[in-house]
Amino acid sequence: MIEIIKKSEQAYGEFNNGEIIENKPIGFPIEGGKLKPYSNLFYWAYAEASVDSVIGLHPHKGFEIISVVLKGTIKHYDTLIDKWIDLKEGDIQVIQSGSGVSHSEAINKDAAIFQIWLDPNLKKSFHQKATYKDYTANDFPVVGNKKVLIGENSPVKVDTEGIKMFQLSLENETFNMDLETGKYYSIYILSGNPTINNKAVEKPDFLKIYDEQELSINTKDQTQIFCISSPKNVSYPTYRV
């Protein structure tokens, strides 16, 4: 099964009177949008800034928060390290917010990020000390067309069960990928106009895939695809509103 969620069906958000615009394949439950949290994916937003803009200090608790710099540069601050840190395209920030941390982002003009919230079993994580770590673009292994962000030989370790995260870079080719049973595959089209199992998709379509054995991705242009695999059946209760 392949569900395609167009931008018009995704949740919408903004900061600072539209200086930062978000489309959210998985928004907060009160924000609407076709998809609700599933598996141990609680939230997924694509945010882009038209000018330099700061999201003020705000608290996080429990969730593992993954921020991926997709283009441009950003800065971030949190109360664990008490200073601003620069991140550039390809870098990743991981906050395991545990018992609580406050955080701020400065997204520079024309920069874009993903922010993805993973549910690591909040009943446990609420009682753990918050941690934070940055990773540079060069930290991640590349195997053929695939850049591994979480899983396999990636340095990123998360507590959230069964998560793998990777990015595919394809051009004028057919790429076949075997899928694990018992997994959701959640895909965001970052660029290009590929067909996936004969379904035409485009930026910024989001795909929720399950009960498929293989994906056949056909591209005729430069295509960037971001993917997370996560378990259909999580062994602990996940947070729902």
Is there a contact between 161 and 64 (Cβ–Cβ < 8 Å)? Answer: no
Res 241 pLDDT > 70 = no
Q: How confident is the model over 184-238, as pLDDT tens digits?
A: 999 999 999 999 999 999 999 999 999 999 999 999 999 999 999 999 999 999 9
Residue carrying structure tokens 């920069």: 111
Residue 78 pLDDT: 84
pLDDT tens-digit series, residues 10-27: 999 999 999 999 999 999
Q: Which two tokens stand for residue 32?
A: 């609407």
Which helix (H) or strand (E) is 125 found in, with range?
helix 122-125
Residue count (the chain): 241
* Chain centroid offset of residue 177 CA: 20
193 Cβ contact partners less than 8 Å away, ≥ 6 residues apart: 200, 201, 202, 220, 221, 223
Q: What share of the chain is helix, strand, coil (3-state, %, to 5)?
A: 5, 55, 40
Rounded distance between C-alpha atoms, residue 67 and residue 43, angstroms: 12
- Evaluate whether 52 touches 94 at the Cβ level (below 8 Å): no
pLDDT recorded at residue 175: 95
Q: pLDDT over 90 for what percent of the chain?
A: 90
pLDDT tens digits for range 42-97 = 999 999 999 999 998 898 999 999 999 999 999 998 888 888 999 999 999 999 99
Question: Structure tokens of 115?
Answer: 């922010």
pLDDT at position 30 over 70? yes
Torsion of CA 190, 194, 200, 206, to 10 degrees: -20
pLDDT band at 168 (very low <50, low <70, confident <90, very high): very high
Q: Are 106 and 54 in contact (CB under 8 A)?
A: yes
Residue 206 CA to residue 188 CA, distance in Å, equals 5
Q: What is the pTM of this model?
A: 0.95
